[in-house]
Amino acid sequence: MRILWAPWRIVYVTSCSSRRGCIFCDKIKEDNDEENLILYRGKYSFVMMNLYPYNNGHLLIAPYEHVPDLVDLNKETLLELMYMVKGCIHLLKEVMRPDGFNIGINIGRVAGAGFEEHVHIHIVPRWLGDTNFMPVIGDVKVIPEGLKETYRRLKARIEILGKALREAY
């Protein structure tokens, strides 16, 4: 058997069983956006990078309000969330040049929600070459760029997201 060492995953593995509080509520209260990978703060919602991404540039958009479902949000928050999605697509296209996107919302644990108590939207950039033999044969996903480098590249062009949000107001 071949072993793939991924010591950084222990933080995630151990936090799953001992998780207290809400990652979205907790991180947004802190004044440490770069450390928490928060890219943008809007009026009703914010954008952060996924600490354990499916692909480079995997973003999460969450409302400040701690609710489990979209039906619990007011129309202003819903509107801003959708403009955040639009702005993030523009940002990722400009900075990372993906060939497509997976965009989704998992509501409830049965639907795959890792944080079912706080609704959020996933935006996962996809490239034609991002599926290869590693996940299929080796059950291994390769992330070719470090989180901090991706954060710096996206943050440097964050005005693209701001422009999309200004259209909403």
Q: What is the DSSP string of 14-54?
A: HHHHH--S-HHHHHHHSS-TTTTTEEEE-SSEEEEE-SS-S
| CA neighbours closer than 13 Å in the CB half-sphere of residue 36 | 19
- Dist CA 158 CA 168 (whole Å): 16
| CA neighbours closer than 13 Å in the CB half-sphere of residue 71 | 2
Q: What are phi and psi of 139, to 5 degrees?
A: 50, 45
| CA neighbours closer than 13 Å in the CB half-sphere of residue 69 | 5
User: Which amino acid is present at 19?
Assistant: R
Which residues are marked as active site? 120
